[in-house]
Amino acid sequence: MDATYRGELRELNEVNYARFEATLDRRITALGSELRQEIAELRVGMASLEGGLLARMGMAEGRLARLTLLRSLAEASESFASLVAVVLTHGPTSSGGVRHYRTIPTRSAQLWCTRNVGLGKFTLGINA
């Protein structure tokens, strides 16, 4: 190989490398802009999904609040029904609770009173 041929080959390699480098820079720039565009589209899609998710979470919170309210109302009505049943069964008392003594004498108490006291009817400890 002579020196002129080597010089021409070197120049040709430098020109080809410069063209390769320019092409590579253009492709990298194009790829970067495509990536930026894709990222922007993904951000828009994610914002839309976030909005939908927040809306669904809001609906779930509202539904949970309604169910909690309904449960509280059911428990309150059950407590009220129990109170009414106690009052209807035992009658109202001054202490607000259940009476600790019988208001109606048992049949055995009536029989005992008839046998021992001679009363035909036993009424709350009062001789009638």
Note down pLDDT in tens along the chain; length 128 residues: 688 888 899 999 999 999 999 999 999 999 999 999 999 999 999 999 999 999 999 999 999 999 999 999 999 999 888 888 877 776 655 555 555 555 566 666 677 777 776 655 545 555 44
Whole-model pTM: value is 0.44
As a whole number of angstroms, the distance between CA 83 and CA 51 comes to 48
Per-residue pLDDT reduced to its tens digit, 106-123: 666 677 777 776 655 545
Upper half-sphere CA count for residue 81 (Cβ side, 13 Å)? 6
8 Å CB contact between 99 and 93: yes
List phi, psi (to 5°) of 91.
Answer: 80, 160
Q: Find out whether 13 and 6 touch, Cβ atoms under 8 Å.
A: no
